[in-house]
């Protein structure tokens, strides 16, 4: 995801995202997907993540139904599983990369 081969979208609330998120994710809260899905539609796979996989499942379902894309993934276990596996998170404002869109 850091190389821009897939888009990783964090669907949590901004307050949750600001407390810690995976580096290089783009933040789009799940309820906003109805208005933002066109920005993500394209040839790159799109993965959605939240704390546990519930809100990201909503975003995944919306993306699949609205865009017709087939390469859409829900990250089961979310950021909770990511952190439990010892992977790092970062806080808002210290991003060193911005994933490309399109």
pTM of the model: 0.85
CATH of the domain at 21: 3.40.250.10
Average pLDDT score over residue span 42-62: 93
The pairs formed by 93-100 with CB atoms below 8 angstroms and a separation of 24 or more are: 95/23, 95/24, 96/23, 97/2, 97/23, 97/24, 98/24, 99/1, 99/2, 99/4, 99/7, 99/8, 99/24, 99/25, 99/26, 100/4
The per-residue pLDDT for range 14-36, each reduced to its tens digit, is 999 999 999 989 999 999 999 99
- pLDDT at position 41 is 87
The count of domains in the chain is 1
- pLDDT at position 3 is 64
**Residue 42 is part of which domain span?**
7-84
Residue 91 lies in a domain: no
Residue 97 lies in a domain: no
Residue 38 lies in a domain: yes
- pLDDT at position 5 is 83
């Amino acid at each position: 995801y850091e190389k821009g081969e897939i888009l990783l979208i964090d669907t949590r609330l901004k307050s949750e995202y600001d407390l810690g998120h995976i580096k290089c994710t783009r933040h789009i809260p799940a309820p906003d997907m109805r208005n933002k899905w066109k920005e993500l539609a394209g040839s790159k796979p799109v993965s959605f993540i939240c704390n546990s996989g519930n809100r990201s499942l909503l975003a995944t379902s919306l993306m699949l139904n609205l865009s017709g894309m087939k390469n859409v993934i829900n990250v089961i276990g979310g950021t909770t599983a990511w952190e439990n596996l010892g992977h790092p998170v970062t806080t808002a404002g210290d991003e060193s990369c911005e994933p490309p869109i399109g």
